[in-house]
Structure 1
Amino acid sequence: MAQGAGEVHGTVAEGFEAVRAEFAAFVGAEPVDPGAQLAAYQDGRLVVDLWAGEVTGDSLSGVFSVTKGAAYLVTALLVEEGLLELDRTVADYWPEFAAHGKGAVTLRQLLSHRSGVIGADDGFAAEELADDRIIAERLAGQRPFWQPGTAHGYHALAIGALVGEVVRRVTGSSVQELYEERVRAPYGLDFYLGLPESERHRHRDVLPMLPTAEQQATMAASAHPGRYNRLAIAFNTSADPAFDLVAFVNSRTALAKSPASVGGVGNARGIAGMYAAMLGGFNGRGPLLKADTVRDFARPQSVGEDLVAGGSASYALGFQALGLEYPALGADTFGHAGAAGALAFGDPRTGLAYGYTRRRFAFPGGPAPENERLARAVYQAAIA
């Protein structure tokens, strides 16, 4: 049900009142986002549960690359159980991957965005990108775009399928199936890899970006002229016909198949809840991971120049090393942002888990700028 754009709904725990004020300042500004949610847990307790605009706290929407966190969680579970070893080669589990000099790539390097397999030379059709098995089959025979292990770059639409194929070769099940069986269903999370028909009524499409004239000028000035540069390959904008990421994430095919790189659907409570479940007891169940596993997967692995996105980027084992990206947060904070503006993370030192979603695709893409203020407010309340 639609609500007043600037009106904030929901609750915060004692001590988190400043978070509500910060959220209200954002949603009351111009231009107002047509729907945003913010949730946070500390030690498994819901301490922030806010929403505004044309959503409720229960509404679901595409969270783009926040989805990757679920794939990495499934991988961490299998590493903890000894079914996967980080320093074995990917080809040990998936022999076809060794083609074109990729035989020495380890699972650690793959997770750390160091394999160089960022996409396909000739791009993917949208129907192909909805199916992780098809992506994996094509990328097994793809040459890497740099010497594996020597540098890192964001494997934006590929990493979920690549990691997922390793998982499937070891377990016989997909990332989506294992996430549902071992994570979402038992912990009661409102974060789906494959949206059931019974939940479709809660889904709200992500809306395309509406850049201002100034933002349009910035985009035009920074646009790379090459159709086949690494950024275009990684985000499939080199494909013919042109690929529309927003339309793809909203499509019924992507909602049903939920590719593990970008296809998850959830709300702020759900994406924050996944990190809360990793860190400690949640919804009456014990932690999903041991503290040592969390520490290992949160430790930065690739730091510095990103050969795909440009500029500096920091990756742990799959997860983004957000303690390096957001100085106001704890050093060990790990999580993942989504292209439209969503962000989810966990901080093992404070037991804090954070989730933010918005419907309108934020400029310039990636975690929406307001996350810096909102995350700081939540963190400061958590450590007060």
Structure 2
Amino acid sequence: MTSHEIVHGTVAAGFEDVRRAFADIAAGEPGLGAQLAVRHHGRPVVDLWTGPEVTGDSLLALYSSGKGAAHLVVALLVQDGTLELDRRVAHYWPEFAAAGKGEITLRDLLAHRAGLIGVPGGFSTAELADDRLLARRLAGQAPYWRPGSGYGYHAFVIGALTGEVVRRATGRSLQEVYDERVRVPYRLDFFLGLPEDEEPRYLPVQPLAPEQRGAAGPPAPDSLLGIAFNLNAARPTDLVEFANDRHVRALGPASSGSVGNARGLAKLYAAAIGPVDGRPALLEPATLTAFTRPHTPGVDLVTGERDHFLLGFEALGARYPGLGADAFGHSGAVGAQSFADPGSGIAYSYTRRRFTAGGGGAPENRLLIDAVMRAAAASDGRP
């Protein structure tokens, strides 16, 4: 069987090199289950998948990809005037002011500057699955660094923190607002809380292949990275076990429990920046500007990544040089990567069923994104 025969789906004229790149990746990792979907100015141009059991409709565990949907909800509420970026969090959520957190603003939360990455002794799985339980634990917690003095990835908790602000301001959970304003109107296959009747489409996540495991081992449980990823708990979180827990999928914690496919995420980001299905862009130009300019330069105190974030969203232009500085989106622990690049009109999503070494956006995204951006430039008549 050739590499092209193990890839299914379609590409638009001019995007054939994207299919070839995807096929080469599939050939190089036997048994890889993956999906790739791309929209260009709102129009689907790539819809590919590969691997045992995987189809374009399959639903996969996409972990932190849900942060992109969560930040989109916050952006919409800021756009509406329901939330204000420079309001103190305690204005919406009075209990949050405890333990020296009274001056932290919503902007600080979104920029990962609050220092509220976890709690001593970590969280139980029941807490990690439930954003309201997480928020209750975090309300009384002191920050791990002086708020505003630096930033660090709030890996398991950012969606619960901003989600509690959403709940206090609107009376509805972030997940409910997402369903009402984004998922249902656009018929997206991307869920923060997977309904029972969608379970047959879910394919359990697979662990990292033995040959891909490095010798470095996990970070120290009491390091900032260990705390942020709940390795300081009595029972450190196993991400494979976590995502394959039906209770987690049902509740859909916004930081870590998203389920969906590449089609759903590509359409979400396309709708954020431009017309889709006859609807105008979700985000107005001023909102896009506010949320997509580089926000806090320097090194992430948790991950060590430089210039990691815009406002809430990850700064994808810093990670993938072919993208604009305002490209925004979020990766997911299995190696998933999804984003919108406003300048080119590209909305991109790559998903995996099996973990890859290093977490975050898998290395093959560089090859795929280069192919996508070359095709988009040629389609638009750009050199």
- Is TM-score (shorter-chain normalized) higher than 0.5? yes
For the 8 Å contact 1:62–1:264, the answer to whether it is kept is yes
Post-superposition shift, 1:311? 3.7
* Local SS of the residue matching 1:373: helix
Post-superposition shift, 1:350? 1.4
Q: Name the residue aligned to 1:46.
A: 44
1:209-288 to 2 correspondences below 5 Å: 209-212=208-211, 215-217=213-215, 219-220=216-217, 223-224=218-219, 226-288=220-282
1:321-360 to 2 correspondences below 5 Å: 321-360=315-354
Q: Distance in 1 between matches of 2:165 and 2:5?
A: 45
Aligned in 2, Cα 1:144/1:6: closer, same or farther, shift over 3 Å? farther
Post-superposition shift, 1:33? 4.3
Q: Name the residue aligned to 1:161.
A: 160
Q: Is 1:147 matched up with 2:141?
A: no
Q: Distance in 2 between matches of 1:334 and 1:241?
A: 34
Q: Name the residue aligned to 1:122.
A: 121
Aligned in 2, Cα 1:246/1:35: closer, same or farther, shift over 3 Å? same
- Letter aligned with residue 372 of structure 1: R
Aligned in 2, Cα 1:64/1:151: closer, same or farther, shift over 3 Å? same
1:1-384 to 2 correspondences below 5 Å: 7-29=6-28, 31-54=29-52, 55-212=54-211, 215-217=213-215, 219-220=216-217, 223-224=218-219, 226-384=220-378
* Local SS of the residue matching 1:48: strand
Q: Distance in 2 between matches of 1:6 and 1:304?
A: 45
For the 8 Å contact 1:6–1:52, the answer to whether it is kept is no
Percent identity, aligned pairs only, is 57
- 1:313-335 Cα deviation digits (max 9, x unpaired): 42011000111111121221100
Q: Distance in 1 between matches of 2:17 and 2:150?
A: 41
Q: Distance in 1 between matches of 2:333 and 2:67?
A: 12
- Letter aligned with residue 255 of structure 1: R
Post-superposition shift, 1:211? 3.9
Q: Distance in 2 between matches of 1:47 and 1:20?
A: 11
The alignment covers a number of residue pairs equal to: 375
- 1:150-194 Cα deviation digits (max 9, x unpaired): 100000001000000000000000010000011000011110111
Post-superposition shift, 1:283? 2.0
- Letter aligned with residue 116 of structure 1: G
Post-superposition shift, 1:302? 1.8
- 1:123-146 Cα deviation digits (max 9, x unpaired): 001011100000001101001000
Q: Distance in 2 between matches of 1:131 and 1:5?
A: 42
- Letter aligned with residue 321 of structure 2: P
Post-superposition shift, 1:242? 2.6
Q: Distance in 1 between matches of 2:17 and 2:301?
A: 38
Post-superposition shift, 1:5? 10
For the 8 Å contact 2:99–2:141, the answer to whether it is kept is yes
* Local SS of the residue matching 1:248: helix
Q: Distance in 1 between matches of 2:327 and 2:82?
A: 26
Q: Distance in 2 between matches of 1:382 and 1:375?
A: 10
Q: Distance in 2 between matches of 1:91 and 1:99?
A: 9
Q: Distance in 1 between matches of 2:26 and 2:280?
A: 35
For the 8 Å contact 1:188–1:283, the answer to whether it is kept is no
* Local SS of the residue matching 2:90: helix
- 1:59-108 Cα deviation digits (max 9, x unpaired): 00111101001110110010001011101111111111111111111111
Q: Distance in 1 between matches of 2:208 and 2:42?
A: 34
Aligned in 2, Cα 1:274/1:228: closer, same or farther, shift over 3 Å? same
Gaps of 5+ in 2: 379-383
* Local SS of the residue matching 1:288: coil
Post-superposition shift, 1:114? 0.3
Q: Distance in 2 between matches of 1:150 and 1:346?
A: 29
Q: Distance in 2 between matches of 1:35 and 1:24?
A: 12
**RMSD of aligned C-alpha atoms?**
1.4
* Local SS of the residue matching 1:39: strand
- 1:243-273 Cα deviation digits (max 9, x unpaired): 2112111210111000000111110000111
User: Normalised by the size of structure 2, how large is the TM-score?
Assistant: 0.95
Select between 31-40 and 140-149 the one with higher mean Cα deviation.
Answer: 31-40
For the 8 Å contact 1:33–1:360, the answer to whether it is kept is no
Post-superposition shift, 1:34? 3.0
Aligned in 2, Cα 1:173/1:19: closer, same or farther, shift over 3 Å? same
For the 8 Å contact 2:293–2:325, the answer to whether it is kept is no
Q: Distance in 2 between matches of 1:269 and 1:284?
A: 18
Q: Distance in 1 between matches of 2:19 and 2:128?
A: 38
